[in-house]
Amino acid sequence: MHALAPTGVTMSRSEARDEDFASYMHARQPSLLRTAYLLTGDRHTAEDLVQTAFAKLYLSWDKVKDQGSIDGYVRRILVNENNSLWRRAWKRRESSTAELPDRPHHDEYDGGTGAELWDLVQTLPKKARAVVVLRYYEELSEAETAEALGISVGTVKSQASRALATLRDRAPQTLNPREEDR
Amino acid sequence: MNDTPQGLPRELSRQLHAQVDATFDHGDGAPLTLDDVKGKARSIRRRRTALAAGVGAAAMLAVILPAGLALDDPGNNRPSPAAPSPSEAVEPTPNPDGTFPLTLDVPEGEVPRTGYIAGDARQLVTPDATFDLPGDFLQIAPYDDGWVGIRGGGYRPLGYQVVVLDSDLQELSAVSSNASLAISADGSRVAWVEARGNGGDWTVVNAPVDGGEPMRTPTSANAQVEGFIAPDTVAVSHFDEATGDTSYGQAGPDGEFDAIPFEGFQRVGGVTEVTGLVAGQTEFRGDSTCSEVRNTDTAQPRLVLETCDHQLGAFSPDGRWLIGYATYFDLGSPTVAILDAATGDPVVEYASSRKPAESAVVMAAAWEDDDTVVAVVEQGGEQAVLRLEADGTATRVSDVRDAEMSIEFFLPQHLFAQ
C-alpha cells in the first residue's frame, strides 16, 4: 500500500528502489562491460554477462546495498557467472542479444605484437584469466582480487604467478622481458 | 618477480587497456536498460529451481522483540487482520531423505510472539494487534517506554534513519543511521549506529531499553552492529570500501574498540552473548561455502565447529541452536535447518521440492523462541511467514502476499546474504 501525497509525486518503495538501482547501473555499466569483455573475449557474451550480473544484483539489491559492498558483490557475480558460463556451454546459446542494440564488433584488435599477448590471455584457464584481468586491468590489490574471486590471497598470488609464467613461455621474445620482471 | 607493474605485468596492463580502448568507443558501453535487467531477473527467478539453488540475499528487517516481552498498546492499534485463524494440527510427514517439505501449503497458525513487519503495508503485526508505522521501517524494538526502529527511505547519507518513537508510535527523534539494529538476548539492551552533526560523527550506541544512559563508542560510517557478544558489549563490523575488506571490533563499556577474534570471517551470520560464540562464513568456493563457529574469548579463541554443509545464521536465544541455510544460493535458500550449535548436526531441516512448479525458498529466518524458527518463504510468486518447529511442524502465521522480487515481511533478525 503506497500513500500518495496530494501532488501525487511520492514514489512507492519499489519505484524508489528501481531509481536507486538504475542510477547505480548507469554509472557502473561501462566499466563492468569492459571488464566482462576482457573476461570473455567477446562483446556480445560480455553484454549478456553484465546483464545477468545486474539482474542478480537487482534481486539482491536491498541487502547488498545495506552492506555497502555493491561493487565487490557485482564483480564477484560477474566472475562467477563467467565461470559458470564456461561450465555450462549451453547457456552461451541462450540468445539475449536480440534484446540488445546491435552494434559492430571490434574483437579483432590489430595491435601488432600486443594483439598476440591478448590472444595468449584468452588461452588462460578461466580462473587464471580472471586473476589477470582483475590484477592488471582493474588494478585491484591481491586482497581485493581475493575478495572478488572468493579465494585466498595466497591463491591469487599463485594463480597470477602461474599465469605470468604461462604467458612468458608462450609469448614471443619481444613480449617477454624476463629480466625486467625479476 | 615482485608486485611492481613492470616487465610483463606492465605490458599486460598496457595491452588489456589497449584492447578495451580498441573495442569500445569513448562513452560507449551502456547498452542495457533497467527493463532489460528486470526482464532477466524474472527469468532467473523462474529458473532457480532448475538450477537447484535459490535465492537471495535479501535485506532483512526486523521487529526485534525478545521472546515473552509484553507489548504496550499504542493508540492506533486494531485487531490483527493479518493473523490467520489457527487450523487443526497436522502430523508432519517427512520426505524420504528425512527433511520436511518447505511449502506455503501448510495449516494456519497464530501470529508469532516476535511479531513481524508487513513492509508495503507499513504495519507492525503482533499477536495482540496491528499497528500502523510512520514510514518504511525495517526493524523496531521496545525502547524507553516507546520504540526505536530503523526507517528506510533514501535518507542521506546511507539511506536510513534510527527513529525513536513514543508508545503511540509518534516520532520523537530521527538521525542518520544504517540498517543494523541489535538487541541483547535478555532484551535489556539495544544497539545501533548513528551519525550526529553533518554526517560526521558516527557512533555505536548501546542503550538500556529502560531508557537509561547509553554507552557511546566512536566509529565510522561503514560500521554495522552484528550483535551482542557480552551483556554490555557489541560486536561491530567495519567495511573498508578502499580494500573491500571487513574487519571486526567490539564496543564495550569503556567506550573503546577492542580487538575481537573474528579474523577469517567473510560474513558473520550470528553472535550470542549467552555462550560467547560467533558463527559465519569463512570460505567461498564458487558454488559452495564453508562456515565456522568460534568462541569470542580474546584470551583463548577456539574453533567450535566447521561445516561446508550449511551457511550459518542466527543463534537461538539460549545459544544452543543455529539456523542453517543451503551451503550456496543466490536468490534465497531452498533449505532451512535448526542445527546443534556445538556440533553443526541438523535437528530438523526443511527443504524445497525440486519440482520447478513447487519450488520454495527462504528469504529470511529468525528465532521466535528457543526451539522455533519463523521464516519468510516465497513460493509461486507468493510470500508468507511460516513457523517452523523442531519436530517438523510448519504453520503459516501471516497472510499471503504477492511478491515480485521484493521482501514483503521483515523478521526479528537477519538472513544474511552472500
Nearest to A49 by CA among A37, A59, A61: A37
CB atoms closer than 10 angstroms to residue B235: 24
Please name the amino acid found at residue B415: L
**pLDDT at residue B383, as a whole number:** 93
CA pair distance A74, B361, nearest whole angstrom: 22
Nearest to B112 by CA among B413, B415, B404, B412: B412
CA pair distance B158, B154, nearest whole angstrom: 7
Q: What spatial distance separates the first Cα and last Cα of chain A, rounded to whole Å?
A: 65
Using an 8 Å Cβ cutoff, are B367 and B327 in contact? Answer: no
Taken in order B116, B357, B33, A91, the sign of the CA dihedral is positive
Distance from CA of B103 to the nearest CA of A (A): 21
Contacts of A82 (CB under 8 A, 6+ apart): A36, A39, A40, A49, A126, A130
CA B388 and chain centroid, separation: 17
Contact status of A80 with chain B (Cβ, < 8 Å): yes
The single residue listed with the C-alpha cell 523462541 is B369
**pLDDT at residue B325, as a whole number:** 96
Contact A18 B57 (CB under 8 A): no
233-272 in chain B: CB under 8 A from chain A: 239, 241, 243-245, 266
C-alpha cell at B195: 551519525
Using an 8 Å Cβ cutoff, are B126 and B112 in contact? Answer: no
Nearest to B270 by CA among B221, B231, B320: B320
CA count, 13 A, side-chain hemisphere, B286: 11
pTM of the model: 0.58
CA B376 and chain centroid, separation: 11
The single residue listed with the C-alpha cell 550449511 is B310
C-alpha cell at B22: 580498441
Per-residue pLDDT of chain B (418 residues; tens, 9 = 90+): 344 446 888 888 999 999 998 888 877 767 889 998 988 887 766 544 332 222 222 223 334 443 333 333 444 444 444 444 444 445 678 888 889 999 999 999 999 888 899 887 788 888 877 888 998 888 888 888 788 999 987 777 777 899 998 877 888 889 988 888 998 877 788 999 998 766 578 899 999 988 888 999 988 888 889 999 888 899 998 887 777 778 888 998 888 888 787 888 888 899 998 888 999 998 887 778 899 999 887 777 789 999 999 999 999 988 899 999 999 887 789 999 999 999 999 999 999 998 888 899 998 899 988 889 999 999 988 999 999 999 899 999 999 998 865 778 988 653 322 2
Please name the amino acid found at residue A37: Y
Using an 8 Å Cβ cutoff, are A136 and B233 in contact? Answer: no
The H or E element spanning position B311 is strand B310-315
Taking one residue from A and the other from B, the number of pairs with CB-CB distance under 8 angstroms is 213
Contact B12 A68 (CB under 8 A): no
Which of B34, B176, B239 is the best residue to mutate to test the A interface, defined by the most A CB atoms within 10 Å of its own CB? B34
For B365, left (φ over 0), alpha (ψ -120 to 50), or beta? beta
Contact B243 A144 (CB under 8 A): yes
Distance from CA of B118 to the nearest CA of A (A): 10
CA pair distance B180, B138, nearest whole angstrom: 9
Summarised one tens digit per residue, pLDDT across range B135-166 is 888 888 888 878 899 998 777 777 789 999 88
Q: Which CATH class is domain B7-113+230-410?
A: mainly beta
Contact status of B121 with chain A (Cβ, < 8 Å): yes
Task: Give me the residue spans of the domains in chain B.
Answer: 7-113+230-410
